[in-house]
Structure 1
């Protein structure tokens, strides 16, 4: 998958898609992993991350919306991707369909804050 292919898939799924697309188009790094994971498992992980980031006051983009989209996808198999801004201040997690042809959801987190667990 090319940078331009991935950027074209980032539409209006969540409010984090536009900044993720911008990061891709301005030199950010990206990866889409090969493995598949059920959406409901990822939803549980990101629901916990939502609670942690809220507790810390860590800025996020569309994390609650992404959790809802993932929950609604049930046991659908997904691929996971990641985009980092060129300056590494934001990390965006992308959730794509199993064939990596559609982005279902995207969330961003401010990477300038320490991400250790409490």
Structure 2
């Protein structure tokens, strides 16, 4: 799969798809898995991640909507993709159909700064 093919698949499935597409076309790295995973298995994993990010106060994009879409897809086999923004500020997880020809859902999670790196703008 090429960068352009993936960018074309990122429509309006969730509100994270536009920022994911922007991250991709501005030089972000991407990968799409070879093997499928049942959507309901992914839904349970990402529901836990939703709770953790909420507990930590970590910014996300469309994570709750993505969890809902994954539960709706039931046992449908999905492939997972990931886009890392070039500036490493966000990571986007993509959920594609088994043939990797369509994106079902997309979510984004802000990446936290490493503990040894000082926060910008801090006095």
TM-score with structure 1 setting the length: 0.95
Question: Aligned pair 1:89/2:61, yes or no?
Answer: no
* Count of residue correspondences: 114
Do the aligned partners of 1:58 and 1:113 also contact (CA within 8 Å) in 2? no
SS of the residue 1:75 aligns to: coil
Written as runs of structure 1 = structure 2, the 5 A alignment for 1:57-76 is 57-76=57-76
The residue aligned with 1:4 is 4
5+ unaligned residues in a row in structure 1: which ranges?
Answer: none
Q: For residue 35 of structure 1, report the CA deviation from its aligned partner.
A: 1.1
SS of the residue 1:96 aligns to: strand
4+ runs deviating over 6 angstroms: none
SS of the residue 1:92 aligns to: strand
SS of the residue 1:79 aligns to: strand
Q: For residue 17 of structure 1, report the CA deviation from its aligned partner.
A: 0.1
Written as runs of structure 1 = structure 2, the 5 A alignment for 1:1-118 is 1-112=1-112
5+ unaligned residues in a row in structure 2: which ranges?
Answer: 115-123
Q: For residue 113 of structure 1, report the CA deviation from its aligned partner.
A: 5.0
Query: Greater Rg, structure 1 or structure 2?
Result: 2
Equivalents in 2 of 1:8, 1:111: separation in Å? 25
Superposed CA RMSD in Å reads: 0.8
